[in-house]
């Protein structure tokens, strides 16, 4: 699959603008995101003591990077955007990730050969494409110091510049207040975001399932942040007596099974491994104070070799370990950004990835959820599952309505999806409701992520808003281990025949339920299937499980240009016809003397 394209945000080309600045021997001034109050606060006047300064006017020797990117490069300022800071700390530990966000990072360093021009650029992923965001390096300060995101090294500026580019994408620094770490991690990586609620994993068995999800995700280099829900505005960012902070996003930096000393083959009654989580507070300093905290006596149970492998330190850097039990006891939500492995050149488990883009659009593609009569007036996708019990990961990402790209910014829509059973020869859009197989969560969120297990067969997936009439664009991504077939259904019906007078098409729907009375063929039962022939089309059902009463419950629809032509149904066993029926004008007639007693069929006939 080709890499996603990159677009210039607001039409600004970094190289073109920098070249012009160098030619004119001047520093870039970004009029699309000016160094003034509204770029800081869009809802109220900015404090008068905020002064915009370039890094060269803050310190004598500014640097883009010092050594390399690290989690220590991100210290949250006075802005309530810990969700973004925690996400940045996650990508800083993986060079393959941050290099996507920070293109040409060598060329953006302060040095003579790079011809500094006061211009920088960063990339953020939005709905299948990377947006290249250009900024000037004027930063808001108070008392000569940066007031928002900054590095612990006073002369390192890449994190502050990154935050400014993200603020430009949203329209102001204030717009970064109170977001979701999942969305920031997706913007920084192009991964698929998922939110896990601890309440869904109560009980030991479910808790172990959660640990397995997190452990495998971390092994696949996925990013994670965790938070403790604040039940009111007054509780936001209040500190618990065990050192954790409500309403605050923590980076999850490790998910491990740690060996304890004195356990193993000859200590079968002792606990051999401890399930552990390592977190990082973007504020730094404020850490967990409970068991397994920095310097606690529990670490005497771990060998020095194990500590070294873990890279264990007890620095006041905001990073700490805690048991998985305590993690589940205190944290309420985990945001995961899945970096799904789709490479064939790997020994790890890999997935097939399918990406489709679309839009909800009135009057025919914005029908709302299944509560509404207009439900089928939504984007529809034909989905073929090739193996039984296939786990499919589904991600739906809508255009972010908080972004500066929208003239009228607002809350994101409540979105979800539904999967319904369809005819096995479905080619056209559905116009009648069918059995619902699965309904995903409907959430007021920029994106949703769900896992669903489906049997082999053909389905229709509908991507919807909760209420009808809402218009926006979206991206649908599906991941599976065994492969799928998926395509959008766009046509309502086939073209009518070209003839004089009013053209007509007959639509005949047939459901084959079961076949009874096959004891004479094989008393132990048979594995049978049906073939249906209509106007040159041959449609085959699946092969039934071995039974004296094979069952299919499969439906098919034929659009007939010659409605009087017969439809033939053959029941076959080992490629031999053991029963045949004919249908014309919705009437069923047995056309031959068969061993079987009855084939259960229902049909509908309609002139369109």
CATH of the domain at 569: 2.60.40.150
Do 391 and 369 have their domain in common? yes
63 assigned to some structural domain: yes
Do 423 and 294 have their domain in common? no
Q: Which of 21, 82, 127, 337 is catalytic?
A: 82
Q: Which of 81, 281, 423, 425 is catalytic?
A: 281
Whether the pLDDT of residue 406 is over 70: the answer is no
Among the candidates 338, 371, 397, a domain finishes at 338
Poorest-confidence range of 195-199, 216-220, 446-450, 494-498? Answer: 494-498
Do 562 and 471 have their domain in common? no
**Residue 595 — pLDDT band, cuts 50, 70, 90?**
very low
Average pLDDT of the segment spanning 42-60: 93
Average model confidence (pLDDT) for the chain? Answer: 87
CATH of the domain at 267: 3.90.70.10
Describe the chain by its helix, strand, coil percentages, rounded to 5.
20, 35, 45
Residue that is written with structure tokens 């109560």 in the block: 202
State pLDDT tens for residues 124-159. 999 889 999 999 999 999 999 999 999 988 999 999
Do 230 and 149 have their domain in common? no
Catalytic-residue membership of 281: yes
Catalytic-residue membership of 248: yes
Catalytic-residue membership of 82: yes
Do 537 and 598 have their domain in common? yes
pLDDT the model gives residue 463: 97
Q: Which residue has the higher pLDDT, 197 or 500?
A: 197
**Residue 345 — pLDDT band, cuts 50, 70, 90?**
low
The H-or-E segment that residue 169 falls in is helix 158-170
Q: What is the distance between the alpha carbons of residues 497 and 257, in angstroms, rounded to a whole number?
A: 67
Do 176 and 197 have their domain in common? no
**Residue 402 — pLDDT band, cuts 50, 70, 90?**
confident
CB atoms within 10 A of CB 144: 10
Could you write out the three-class secondary structure of 348-405? Answer: CCCCEEEEEEEEEECCCECCCCCCCCCCCCCCEEEEEECCCCEEEEEEEEECCCCCCC
Average pLDDT of the segment spanning 63-83: 84
Whether the pLDDT of residue 39 is over 90: the answer is yes
Please tell me the total count of domains within the chain.
Answer: 4
pLDDT the model gives residue 588: 44
494 assigned to some structural domain: no
Domain that holds residue 455: 352-489
Do 261 and 400 have their domain in common? no
Among the candidates 133, 156, 180, a domain finishes at 180
Poorest-confidence range of 128-137, 343-352, 417-426? Answer: 343-352
Do 512 and 425 have their domain in common? no
State pLDDT tens for residues 253-312. 999 999 887 655 444 444 578 899 999 887 776 789 999 988 889 998 888 888 888 877
Do 470 and 584 have their domain in common? no
Q: Which of 90, 121, 127, 248 is catalytic?
A: 248
Do 286 and 419 have their domain in common? no
Whether the pLDDT of residue 88 is over 80: the answer is yes
State pLDDT tens for residues 452-464. 999 999 999 999 9
Poorest-confidence range of 142-146, 360-364, 499-503, 528-532? Answer: 499-503
């Amino acid at each position: 699959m080709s890499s996603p394209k990159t677009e210039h945000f607001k039409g600004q080309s970094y190289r073109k603008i920098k070249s012009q600045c160098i030619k004119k021997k001047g520093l870039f001034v970004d009029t699309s995101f000016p160094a003034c109050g509204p770029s800081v606060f869009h809802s109220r006047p900015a404090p008068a003591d905020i002064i915009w300064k370039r890094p060269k006017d803050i310190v004598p020797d500014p640097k883009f990077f010092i050594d390399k990117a690290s989690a220590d490069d991100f210290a949250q300022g006075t802005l309530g955007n810990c969700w973004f800071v925690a996400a940045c700390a996650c990508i800083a530990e993986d060079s393959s990730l941050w290099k996507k966000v920070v293109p040409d990072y060598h060329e953006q360093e302060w040095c003579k050969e790079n011809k500094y021009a006061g211009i920088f650029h960063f990339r953020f992923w939005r709905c299948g494409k990377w947006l290249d965001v250009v900024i000037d390096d004027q930063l808001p300060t108070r008392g000569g110091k940066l007031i928002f995101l900054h590095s612990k090294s006073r002369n390192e500026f890449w994190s502050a510049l990154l935050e400014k580019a993200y603020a430009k994408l949203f329209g102001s620094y204030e717009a970064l207040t109170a977001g979701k770490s999942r969305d920031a991690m997706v913007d920084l990586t192009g991964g698929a975001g998922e939110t896990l609620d601890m309440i869904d994993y109560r009980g030991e068995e479910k808790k172990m399932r959660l640990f397995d999800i997190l452990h495998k995700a971390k092994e696949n280099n996925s990013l994670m942040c965790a938070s403790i829900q604040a039940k009111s505005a007054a509780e936001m960012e209040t500190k618990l007596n065990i050192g954790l902070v409500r309403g605050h996003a923590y980076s999850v930096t490790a998910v491990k099974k740690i060996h304890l000393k004195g356990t193993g083959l000859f200590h079968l009654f002792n606990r051999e491994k401890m399930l552990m989580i390592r977190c990082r507070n973007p504020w730094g300093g404020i850490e967990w104070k409970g068991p397994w905290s920095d310097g606690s006596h529990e670490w005497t149970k771990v060998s020095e070799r194990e500590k070294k492998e873990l890279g264990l330190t007890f620095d006041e850097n905001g990073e700490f370990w805690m048991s998985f039990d305590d993690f589940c006891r205190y944290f309420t939500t985990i945001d995961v950004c899945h970096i799904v492995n789709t490479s064939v050149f790997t020994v790890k488990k890999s997935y097939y990835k399918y990406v489709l883009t679309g839009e909800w659009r009135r009057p025919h593609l914005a029908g709302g959820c299944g509560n509404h009569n207009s439900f089928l007036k939504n984007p529809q996708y034909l989905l073929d599952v090739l193996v039984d019990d296939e786990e499919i990961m589904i991600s739906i990402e809508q255009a972010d309505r908080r972004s500066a790209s929208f003239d009228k910014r607002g809350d994101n829509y409540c979105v979800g999806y539904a999967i319904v059973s369809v005819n096995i020869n479905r080619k056209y859009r559905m116009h009648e409701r069918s059995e619902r197989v699965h309904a995903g969560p409907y959430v007021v969120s920029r994106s949703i992520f769900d896992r669903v297990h489906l049997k082999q067969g053909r389905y229709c997936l509908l991507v919807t808003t909760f209420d009808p009439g809402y218009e926006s664009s979206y991206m649908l991504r599906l991941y599976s281990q065994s492969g799928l077939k998926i395509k959008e259904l766009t046509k309502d019906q086939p073209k009518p025949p070209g003839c004089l007078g009013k053209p007509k098409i007959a639509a005949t729907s047939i459901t084959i339920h079961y076949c009874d009375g096959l004891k004479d063929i094989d008393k132990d039962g048979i594995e049978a299937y049906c073939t249906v022939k209509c106007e040159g089309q041959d449609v085959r059902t699946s092969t039934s499980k071995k039974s004296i009463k094979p069952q299919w419950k499969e439906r098919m629809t034929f659009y007939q240009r010659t409605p009087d032509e017969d439809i033939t149904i053959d029941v076959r066993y080992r490629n031999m016809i053991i029963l045949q029926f004919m249908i014309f004008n919705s009437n069923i007639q047995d056309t031959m003397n068969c061993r079987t007693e009855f084939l259960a069929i229902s049909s509908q006939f309609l002139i369109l």
